[in-house]
Chains A and B, each alone.
Chain A
Amino acid sequence: MSTVDATAGWDRLIEHDRVHGSLYTDPAIYEAELERIWYRTWVFVGHVSEVPEPNDYVVKSIGPQPVIMTRDKQGEIHLLLNRCTHRANLVCDAPRGNSSAFRCPYHGWTFSNTGRLLGYPFNSGYDGREAKRELGLGRVARIGIYEGFVFGSFAEEGPTLLEHLGAAREALDRLVALSPSGELDLSAGWLQHKVKANWKMLVENETDGYHPQFVHSSIFSVAQSGIGELYGEESTALSRDLGNGHTENDLRPEFRRIGQPLGWFGTTPDRVPDYVAQLEAAKGVEQARELLIDGSPHVMLFPNLFIAEIQLFVIQPLAVDETVQHVTAVQYKGAPDMNRRMLQQTIGSVGPAGFLLADDSEMYERNQRGVHARSPEWVVLKRGTHRERLDEDGHLVGDATDEVPQRAIWRHYRRLMEAGA
């Protein structure tokens, strides 16, 4: 494909209903994305339940940046860069641990888990201690926590986390509302599934209601799954632009039409009686029934957090053509019978050997190879342009299989890239 000069203007690459293939392949565009999206906007980093105890820490990331998420002795969460301020060694090597301080293995520089430099060996080699204040670990400029979801932004200023989440907040509320304790426990560990594809291939696919009947027909047919029909021509489900690049497949119209509690999870209340009783105790029988009919959200929070009902994906770009999907099972704190089922269904569905995600990932890599073709140069995102409409909240919606979400993602992307120009 011919290379289009990105400096000529993002409007030349991103039109309303088609985008240029070079957006997935041009290393210069990828570098620009790191600066204008990954190192500027709010990016999901981790969940507070991954550091449940004082002085717990986990090694996480913001794109290619290595980040340590810590909980200090007071319970406060910090996002520090995993880089010694002395000679740049990685301070933490273990994926998780419990320590009030980190000691770099290279020369022994020691930092508190809030990032403060506590000291270094043989301090007579330095002429004074005053420089210590400037030599604390780098930190992600802003940290925001919503319902236990920890986001970081490298930009000192900009929209607040709540402004960034906007209407997508409601999806997180819906997710948490299904936990009888009102809390999630995301400590089952993450699978790391690597693909040779651009990160936007993944973002676009997460709320693409057009692909399931094709990409996933093999597992739908052998498992007698009804998921395929949710994304059919007859489906009353909606695709929705939630603003700020956040998008969802809203399956509630279908689940409400069917009216079966836990139908969204492919089970019935009698299979998870303890969980249902707990939820009824917490919310009341009527509201619990509504929650169990509506089910869990299917929402992509731009740029990197995908909630797929009972799974949570974090998208991590590593290069223009290399991306890692981190995935774990949603677990409701204190609901063991439901958690067992959600964990086992997640293990079956996702990750490198998953019945669903292995096939999605094959598509990502095939897309990435295909988009290098010289002709045609454009990716077509026209589906449903003639029937998209505003819902009662003023959000743009389309039919279940329409490309409303993909167009929404690119509109937001273009705004961010133009803002950084």
Chain B
Amino acid sequence: MSGATVNRDLLLEVEQFVYREARMQDEHDYDGWEALWTDDALYWVPANGDAIDPTREMSIIFDNRSRIATRVKQLKTGKRHAQAPPSRTRRVVSNVELLDGAGDGGELVVGANFVLYESRERGVTLWAGRSTYRLRPTGDGLRMAYKKIELVNNDRAIFTLAFLI
């Protein structure tokens, strides 16, 4: 999609969605975040590269919609020790690009980069990567059908990642 054809209103809507998701994650608004997903959603954080086959190889997260719900429920028990207390996080999402989809009712493919500071008792951990979203227009605004997070260090040893990425 060349820059000249970008629909500014659409890009603005997409950016606002992506920023809203980031804020909900940073502020541990678990219900709000879960409501952003479609019923057939997929939430994926690959390991050992970005182009692996998640049906045959290990991923860090490979959640279908039901497992997203389990993840949120676990966080909400208050006994998810890796997030009790929750990590303090703030992330900057940038380089938001509409990669595909004209907005005629079909899904939009959106790319963005992020940098994230996580503070826990252990100390500050810096996370960075690229997110690819598939956003589906609904009568109630955009919803996430797919989010893939490519951590820059997904091929190395990483600390616990129990907050919402």
Contact indicator A329/B82 (Cβ below 8 Å): no
Q: Which A residue's beta carbon lies closest to that of B155?
A: A95
Contact indicator B81/A215 (Cβ below 8 Å): yes
A359 to B60, CA, bound (A): 15
Contacts of B77 in A (CB 8 A): 217-218, 221-222
B43 smallest CB distance to A (angstroms): 10
From A188, A324, A358, give the contact of B82 (CB < 8 A): A358
Interface positions of A from 317 to 352, Cβ below 8 Å from B: 324, 327-329, 340, 343-344, 346-348, 351-352
A111 smallest CB distance to B (angstroms): 25
Of B24-32, B48-56, B100-108, B140-148, the one touching chain A: B48-56
Of B13-21, B109-117, B157-165, the one touching chain A: B157-165
Tally of B interface residues using CB under 8 Å:
36
Contacts of A365 in B (CB 8 A): 121-122
A40 contacts B by Cβ under 8 Å: no
Interface positions of B from 33 to 50, Cβ below 8 Å from A: 45, 47-48
A194 to B60, CA, bound (A): 13
A369 to B56, CA, bound (A): 37
Residue of B61, B70, B161, B162 ringed by the most chain A CB atoms within 10 A: B162
Sorting the interface of chain A by its residue count into under 10, 10 to 19, 20 to 34 or 35 or more gives 35 or more
A218 to B73, CA, bound (A): 9
From B52, B73, B155, B159, give the contact of A352 (CB < 8 A): B159
B49 smallest CB distance to A (angstroms): 9
Contact indicator B48/A343 (Cβ below 8 Å): no
A277 contacts B by Cβ under 8 Å: no
A128 to B10, CA, bound (A): 72
Contact indicator A362/B70 (Cβ below 8 Å): no
Contacts of B57 in A (CB 8 A): 188-189
Contact indicator B157/A189 (Cβ below 8 Å): no
From A215, A340, A363, give the contact of B55 (CB < 8 A): A340
Contact indicator A359/B157 (Cβ below 8 Å): no
B25 smallest CB distance to A (angstroms): 13
Contact indicator B81/A347 (Cβ below 8 Å): no
A153 contacts B by Cβ under 8 Å: no
Contact indicator B59/A359 (Cβ below 8 Å): no
Contacts of A353 in B (CB 8 A): 45, 60-61, 160-162, 165
Across chains A and B, which 7 residue pairs bring their CB atoms closest together, nearest first?
A192-B157, A358-B82, A218-B79, A222-B73, A194-B157, A352-B161, A218-B77
